[in-house]
A and B are shown apart, each in its own frame.
Chain A
Amino acid sequence: MELRFTEEEIAFRQEVRAFIRGNLPAKTLERMRLGYPPTKSDVVTWQRILNKKGWATYKWPQEYGGQAWSPTMRMIFQDENMLAHAPEVNSFNITMIGPVLIQFGTPEQKERFIAPTANLDIWWCQGFSEPGSGSDLASLKTSAVLDGDHYVVNGQKIWTSTAHHADWIFALVRTNPQARKPQEGISFLLIDMKTPGITVRPIISIDGSHHFNEVFFDDVRVPVTQRVYEENKGWDVAKFLLGNERTGIARLGKSMARLEDIRELSPHLRNHGAPLLDDKLQRERVASLEIRAKALEITQLRVVAKMMQQSDGKPDPFSSLLKIKGGELGQDTSELIMDAVGPLAMPQWAKELDLLNRESGENEPPIGPDYAGFAAGPYLMHRASSIAGGTTEIQKNILNKAVLRL
């Protein structure tokens, strides 16, 4: 047993860090550092830079443009990206549909989609959840009826992140309402968002941002050639997708970056007439979060190491642990930043402060210090960390089923 990083791993970390520093656009870095979500253009630009280097699709098999990195190296890569305030690549493209097409796609589908997916020439979104189907995903109702060589899709998806940016959507639809079990009548379709009959309605989040959407399908015609895998076998595809590579799920680097940020903010934030971190209780709060981050870092390495040994491809139930603790840490570190900023985090300044707007030549001066404008946003948005991708409660059910067996 050796818990220290090897020299190769340390060198790799240096290489990644240097590349990001040398290539991440300054505007993007500044926006991310202040807590803003990246813009669409931030994500596209960065993913293309990485793709040129061969790093955007590092998780994919090598013959499809992936890297032969060990799980530890993958983890280092993810952490370094987050620590350096780089946007995450579009995970619908990289973690979800890419691997799905590689595993299940026809040669034609691979030929058509894989390269533009890697380069973010196509922005994908995910059409899974429905108003009545959240944790109980298999109860979904959006129907697809075969009509010649097309499916006719009718129904509604919800919580569709970035659907308003998306060129394409991969969606679960019901092709056999009479199946013995609800899981057995579902198919997996690729749908062009420009197809007539699709309506996207924004859902504004509690931080005032537009991230989620409802997507309505009204007699939307989808060629049968855009079905992935067999008809009524879509649940197998979904399971593969949801279980695929979940080590990044803790998003630990992001939390660690905030624990660095608080040190930078401290001199600006006065408490009893002194910098914030002169206060022992504030320091205890930071120390306590750092301890949790350290524990999670090692647990994550253990899960990663276990994956290196077994290659059955099955998701490790302990990734539920990573998701739960990683989500909590994201919530608590964003709360730390908001609390540190205090009353200045309360006004809805985001719009006025938006760096994009300022670049576009708006003349009004920003209100308040720039670090304060989006300090509450991540706190608000992070409430979703314990909801999206399987709620914390569902993750505990998974742990119970797979490990505790009560």
Chain B
Amino acid sequence: MDLRFTEEEVAFRKEVRDFIRQNLPARTRERLRLGYSPTKQDIVDWQRILNKKGWATYKWPKAYGGTDWSPTQRMIFQEENQINHAPEVNGFNITMIGPVIIQFGTPEQKAHILPRAANLEDWWCQGFSEPGSGSDLASLKTAAKRVGDDYIVNGQKIWTSTAHHADWCFALVRTDPNARKPQEGISFLLIDMKTPGITVRPIISIDNSHHLNEVFFDDVKVPVANRVYEENKGWDVAKFLLGNERTGIARLGKSMERINYAQELARDVRQNGKPLIEDAGFRQRVAKLQVQAKALELTQLRVVAKAAGNSDGKPDPFSSVLKIKGTELLQDTAELVMDIAGPLAMPDWAKELDLLNRESGDNEPLIGPEWAGYAAPPYLMLRAASIYGGTNEIQKNILNKAILRL
């Protein structure tokens, strides 16, 4: 056992870091450093830069444009992206639909979809959750009726992230309402968002941002050729997708980056006439978060090492530990940054501060220091981190079922 990185791994980290520093657009970097969400353009630009280098699809098999990086290298790559304020690639494209098509797609589907997904020519979104089907996903009701060479889709999806940006949606639909078990009547369809009958309604989040949507399907025609895998076997596809490569789930680099950022800020903020960074209570809070991040880093390395050892492709139930602790750390580090800003984080200044607007020639002077203007939204938005992708309560149920067996 050796918990240190090898020389090769250290060199790899440096290569990745240098590449990001040299190629990440300055505006994107600044926006992310201040806590803004990346714009659609930020993500598209960065994913294409990575794709040109062959790194956007590093998780895919080599035959499909992937790399043969070890799990540790993958982890290093993700961490360096997050620490250096690079946007994450579009996860719907890279982690979800890409691997699904590689595993289950027809040759035609592979040829058409994969290169466009890799280069973010098509922006994908995920149509899984429904108003009545959250944690209990298999109870979904959106219906697809076979008529000739088409399915006619009717129903509603909800919590659809970036549906308003998306060109395509991969969706779970019910093709057999009379199946013995709810899981057995579900199919996996690829739906062009420009198809008539699709309506996207924004859901504004508590940070005042537009990230989530409802998507309504009203007699939407989907060619049978756009079904992935067999009819009524969509649940297998969904299980594969949800279990696929979950080591990135902790988003640890992001938390580490926030801890560093918080220390930077705390040098400039004063409390009781001294820099906040000199306050013992504050320092202890930072130290506690660093300890948690270190523990999670090592746990993540252990999970990664195990994944390297067994290739049965089954998801490791321990990834639920990574999800729970990773999202808690994301929430706590965002809270730390907000607490540093204090009262200056409370005004809803985001619009006025928006770097995009400033670029567009807005003349009004800024209100308050710009780093404070976006200190609260990540705190608000990250409350969702312990909800989406299986709530942390559901993750604990998974741990119980797979490991504790109580």
Contact = CB atoms under 8 A, between A and B. Distances in A.
Would A and B touch once assembled, by the CB under 8 A criterion? Answer: yes
Interface of A: 279-281, 284
B284 interface: yes
A199 to B, nearest CB: 35
B142 to A, nearest CB: 30
B8 to A, nearest CB: 41
Contacts of A281: 280-281, 284
8 contacts: A279-B280, A280-B280, A280-B281, A281-B280, A281-B281, A281-B284, A284-B280, A284-B281
A281 B284 CA distance: 8
Contacts of A284: 280-281
A284 B285 CA distance: 12
Nearest to B279: A280
A287 B281 CA distance: 12
Q: Is the interface of A mostly helix, strand, loop or mixed?
A: helix
A121 to B, nearest CB: 48
Measured as residues with beta carbon below 8 angstroms from the partner, the interface class of chain B is under 10
Nearest to B280: A280
B12 to A, nearest CB: 39
B396 to A, nearest CB: 16
Interface string B280-313: 1100100000000000000000000000000000
A330 to B, nearest CB: 24
Interface in B170-196: none
Q: Is the interface of B mostly helix, strand, loop or mixed?
A: helix
Contacts of B280: 279-281, 284
Nearest to A284: B281
A168 to B, nearest CB: 40
A284 B280 CA distance: 10
Contacts of A279: 280
A284 B284 CA distance: 11
Contacts of A280: 280-281
A297 to B, nearest CB: 24
Nearest to A283: B280
A280 B285 CA distance: 13
Q: Sorted from nearest, which 4 A-B pairs have the closest CB atoms?
A: A280-B280, A281-B280, A281-B284, A284-B281
Interface in B7-30: none
A272 to B, nearest CB: 12
Given A279-B280, A284-B280, 6 more contacts: A280-B280, A280-B281, A281-B280, A281-B281, A281-B284, A284-B281
A284 B288 CA distance: 15
A44 to B, nearest CB: 45
A296 to B, nearest CB: 23
Nearest to A280: B280
A279 B281 CA distance: 11
B273 to A, nearest CB: 15
Contacts of B284: 281
Contacts of B281: 280-281, 284
A281 B282 CA distance: 10
A67 to B, nearest CB: 46
Nearest to B284: A281
B358 to A, nearest CB: 41
Interface string B127-167: 00000000000000000000000000000000000000000
A396 to B, nearest CB: 16
A279 B284 CA distance: 12
B343 to A, nearest CB: 22
A281 B281 CA distance: 6
Interface string B369-393: 0000000000000000000000000
B379 to A, nearest CB: 22
A281 B280 CA distance: 6
A393 to B, nearest CB: 14
B204 to A, nearest CB: 30
Nearest to A282: B280
B377 to A, nearest CB: 29
Interface in B257-284: 280-281, 284
A75 B280 CA distance: 37
Interface in B192-223: none
A284 B279 CA distance: 12
Interface string B66-93: 0000000000000000000000000000
B225 to A, nearest CB: 48
A57 B341 CA distance: 56
Interface string B308-333: 00000000000000000000000000
Nearest to B283: A281
B31 to A, nearest CB: 36
B183 to A, nearest CB: 28
B369 to A, nearest CB: 27
A280 B284 CA distance: 11
B271 to A, nearest CB: 13
A289 to B, nearest CB: 15
A348 B405 CA distance: 37
B272 to A, nearest CB: 11
B275 to A, nearest CB: 15
A75 B284 CA distance: 37
A172 to B, nearest CB: 29
A333 to B, nearest CB: 20
A125 B284 CA distance: 47
B290 to A, nearest CB: 16
A280 B274 CA distance: 15
A285 to B, nearest CB: 10
A280 B280 CA distance: 7
B276 to A, nearest CB: 14
A258 B294 CA distance: 34
